[in-house]
């Protein structure tokens, strides 16, 4: 099964290399481009966050004008969801799924390239607004409507100029890319598995990307529809969200959140996938309760489609409507709990190696637990009437997005970097990165819950003294320094290890899934001989011929 790369001896000029990347349809190259592209935006959104934290560090600050602050949080949120989290996860999925199911590429390689370039164009459009957004005098140069852009703030009356159009077009274009990517994941996972890999032997990463792909199809569509309606309102005289002409702005909320909440699962489910690969390998045990994990993932996928209006508990839905969405939202806690318990059970009785990927995975578990519990608080509509739209919510979703998703992504970086580059990331720097980021994360986001409880709404560019908010905001702002240093270490580690990291063989972590059966980095065709498998851990079977998994599954 193990294969060796056939060495390529042709030397290429720099232009040829550029052309090769621009024109590639190789899932690994596209995956890497997604990842690098997302990392650039990660740095940009981080700078935006730091500026905002400087502004909020003390009361009545005049560091930023309200106009600039409002643009920053809009760009920070939009960038984070659409041009950092999604591309980075699509990138890992692109890179890993074919390798892990023993395929030579994605099902539709050209569609794959198209999807990436559409996403890339979307990000350029969003930031293009800085150069061309104003359009008319007095209008803002970048979108300032918030990342969920509630109508009618997006109407031409309240958002003159073109900044909102850049936002709309950007999401429209990126959405097309995401849908293409989703189709590709589904087709690849259903149709491209190697011989012997039944659905029930698929790595959990493939299962979870399958669910993610399905969710992308269902959820990006309403977002795209809403953007088209908004453009029609702004330029064709339509009245979808024009309340003066009988339109409904609540309809925008429904359209946005029936995208927006499943979107959270589009982001977190691939992270569950990373954690489900990292924890078993570093605990030296098979994944506990594989069928339950699959069932939990699929049910989260379905239930997540019926929870969106928990973002709308304060918009005046009738009491039974509110109660319905309380119930559906709370139900999500059940499969999520199943996952947490299965990960814990996988660690239980293992021999855990605390290499950097595992550190980040444990950090993920801890923070995801807390983020889940604060999520239960917000799911309780009456509690949400107080906490909703306050800094508590900001703290909660950053717990999920940074404490959960980002930690899982870091685990994935440390785990798969050797596969992608053939060199290890420095473990020493990795541990510095982990601990500094952990400290910074907790300083910023633990203490951010408190001003929310004390009545501080989100999206305020400043606040008055005497509300009891200053200390907590100052601590939150200090935390960003630690996070920024940690990210710099991470970036340095990524760059320097590419040149001087320890060279690795096929399987540096002594892992069990198929991507570790080929060389690091894998050849363009992935596997010289298409592998065939008999269990969920083909490399375990290979390493333990006396005690293979297929005897037990």
Residues 334-363 that bind other proteins (CB under 8 A): 334, 337-338, 340-342, 344-345, 347-354, 362
CB-wise, 274 or 461, nearer to other proteins? 461
CB-wise, 7 or 546, nearer to other proteins? 546
When binding is defined by CB under 8 A, the residue of 156, 221, 380, 496 that contacts other proteins is: 380
Query: How many Å apart are CA 110 and CA 115, to the nearest integer?
Result: 9
Q: Enumerate residues 498-527 that contact other proteins by CB under 8 A.
A: none
Q: Enumerate residues 253-292 that contact other proteins by CB under 8 A.
A: 283-286, 288-292
Q: 405-408 long-range CB contacts below 8 Å, 24 or more apart?
A: 405/85, 405/267, 405/268, 405/271, 407/360, 407/361, 407/363, 407/364, 407/367, 408/271, 408/272, 408/274, 408/275, 408/360, 408/361, 408/364
Q: How far is the CB of 212 from other proteins (least distance, A)?
A: 23
When binding is defined by CB under 8 A, the residue of 230, 268, 365, 409 that contacts other proteins is: 365
CB-wise, 306 or 523, nearer to other proteins? 306
Q: Does 387 bind other proteins (CB under 8 A)?
A: yes
When binding is defined by CB under 8 A, the residue of 17, 373, 465, 502 that contacts other proteins is: 373
- φ/ψ region of 526 (left if φ > 0, alpha if ψ in -120 to 50, else beta) reads left
Query: How many Å apart are CA 40 and CA 92, to the nearest integer?
Result: 16
Q: Does 54 bind other proteins (CB under 8 A)?
A: no
**Options 66-74, 90-98, 119-127, 170-178: segment touching other proteins (CB under 8 A):** 66-74
Residue with tokens 């239930």: 303
CA dist list (Å): 9 to 21, 31, 73, 297, 345: 18, 24, 49, 45, 48
What is the separation, in whole angstroms, between the first and last Cα of the chain? 21
**Options 81-89, 199-207, 225-233, 365-373: segment touching other proteins (CB under 8 A):** 365-373
Nearest 5°: CA angle at 341, between 383 and 259? 50
**Options 36-44, 374-382, 482-490, 523-531: segment touching other proteins (CB under 8 A):** 374-382
Q: How far is the CB of 305 from other proteins (least distance, A)?
A: 18
Q: Does 545 bind other proteins (CB under 8 A)?
A: no
Backbone dihedral angles phi then psi of residue 423, each to the nearest 5 degrees: -135, 150
Q: Does 195 bind other proteins (CB under 8 A)?
A: no
Please choose, from the candidates 280, 106, 132, the residue with its C-alpha nearest in 3D space to the C-alpha of residue 204. Answer: 280
For residue 491, give the 3-state DSSP assignment: helix
Q: Does 308 bind other proteins (CB under 8 A)?
A: no
When binding is defined by CB under 8 A, the residue of 85, 96, 202, 370 that contacts other proteins is: 370
When binding is defined by CB under 8 A, the residue of 330, 429, 488, 542 that contacts other proteins is: 330
Q: Does 386 bind other proteins (CB under 8 A)?
A: yes
Q: Enumerate residues 463-482 that contact other proteins by CB under 8 A.
A: 463-464, 466-469, 472
Report the 3 state secondary structure along 428-471: HHHHHHHHHHHHHHHHHHHHHHHHHHCCCECCCCCCCCCCCCHH
CA dist list (Å): 426 to 320, 369, 490, 525: 55, 29, 10, 28
Q: How many residues bind other proteins (CB under 8 A)?
A: 100
Query: How many Å apart are CA 424 and CA 115, to the nearest integer?
Result: 30
When binding is defined by CB under 8 A, the residue of 232, 453, 474, 481 that contacts other proteins is: 453
Query: How many Å apart are CA 356 and CA 221, to the nearest integer?
Result: 38
Residue with tokens 């947490």: 340
Q: Does 319 bind other proteins (CB under 8 A)?
A: yes
Q: How far is the CB of 1 from other proteins (least distance, A)?
A: 20
Q: Does 134 bind other proteins (CB under 8 A)?
A: no
Token pair of 541 as six digits: 């079977």
Q: Does 70 bind other proteins (CB under 8 A)?
A: yes
Site string (205-244) toward other proteins, x via CB under 8 A: --------------------------------------xx
Burial class (CB in 10 A: 0-12, 13-18, 19+), 235: exposed
When binding is defined by CB under 8 A, the residue of 455, 498, 530, 550 that contacts other proteins is: 455
């Amino acid at each position: 099964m193990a294969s060796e790369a056939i060495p390529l001896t042709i030397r290429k000029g720099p232009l040829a290399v550029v052309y090769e990347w621009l024109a590639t349809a190789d899932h690994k190259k596209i995956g890497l481009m997604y990842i690098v592209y997302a990392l650039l935006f990660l740095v940009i959104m981080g700078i935006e966050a730091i500026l905002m934290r400087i502004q909020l560090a003390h009361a009545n600050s005049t560091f930023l004008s309200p106009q600039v602050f409002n643009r920053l949080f809009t760009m920070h949120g939009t960038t984070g969801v659409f041009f950092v989290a999604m591309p980075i996860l699509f990138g890992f999925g692109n890179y890993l799924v074919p390798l892990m199911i023993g395929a030579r590429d994605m099902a539709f390689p050209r569609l794959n390239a198209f999807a990436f370039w559409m996403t890339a164009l979307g990000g350029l459009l969003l930031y293009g607004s800085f150069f061309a957004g104003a359009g008319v005098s007095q209008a803002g140069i970048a979108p300032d409507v918030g990342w969920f852009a509630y109508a009618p703030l997006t109407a031409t009356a309240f958002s003159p100029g073109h900044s909102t159009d850049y936002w709309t077009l950007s999401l429209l274009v990126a959405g097309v890319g995401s849908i293409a990517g989703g189709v590709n994941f589904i087709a690849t996972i259903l149709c491209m598995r190697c011989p012997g890999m039944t659905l029930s032997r698929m790595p959990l990463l493939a299962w979870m990307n399958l669910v993610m792909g399905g969710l992308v199809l269902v959820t990006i569509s309403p977002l795209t529809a809403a953007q088209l309606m908004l453009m029609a309102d702004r330029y064709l005289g339509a009245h979808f969200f024009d309340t003066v002409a009988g339109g409904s702005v609540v309809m925008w909320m429904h359209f946005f959140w029936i995208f927006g909440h499943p979107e959270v699962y589009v982001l977190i489910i691939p992270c569950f996938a990373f954690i489900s690969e990292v924890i078993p390998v570093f605990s030296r045990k098979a994944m506990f309760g594989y069928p339950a994990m699959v069932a939990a993932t699929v049910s989260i996928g379905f239930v997540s489609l019926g929870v969106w209006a928990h973002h709308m508990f304060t918009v005046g839905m009738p009491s039974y409507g509110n109660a319905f969405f309380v119930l559906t939202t709370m139900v999500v806690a059940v499969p999520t709990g199943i996952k947490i318990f299965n990960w814990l059970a996988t660690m239980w009785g293992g021999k855990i190696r605390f290499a950097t990927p595992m550190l980040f995975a444990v950090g993920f578990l801890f923070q995801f637990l807390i983020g889940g519990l604060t999520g239960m608080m917000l799911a309780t509509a009456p509690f949400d009437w107080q906490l909703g739209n306050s800094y508590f919510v900001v703290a909660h979703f950053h717990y999920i997005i940074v404490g959960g998703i980002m930690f899982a992504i870091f685990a994935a970086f440390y785990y798969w970097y050797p596969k992608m580059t053939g060199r290890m990331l420095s473990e020493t720097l990795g541990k510095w990165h982990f601990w500094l980021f952990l400290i910074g994360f907790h300083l910023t986001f633990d203490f951010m819950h408190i001003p929310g409880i004390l009545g501080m709404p989100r999206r305020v560019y400043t606040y008055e003294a005497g509300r009891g908010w200053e200390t907590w905001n100052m601590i939150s702002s200090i935390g960003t320094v630690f996070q920024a240093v940690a990210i710099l270490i991470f970036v340095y580690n990524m760059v320097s290890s590419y040149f001087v990291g320890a060279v690795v063989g096929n399987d540096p972590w002594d892992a069990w899934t198929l991507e570790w059966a080929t060389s690091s980095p894998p050849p363009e065709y992935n596997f010289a001989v298409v592998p065939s498998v008999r269990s969920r851990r083909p490399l375990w079977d290979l390493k333990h011929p006396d005690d293979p998994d297929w005897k037990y599954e």
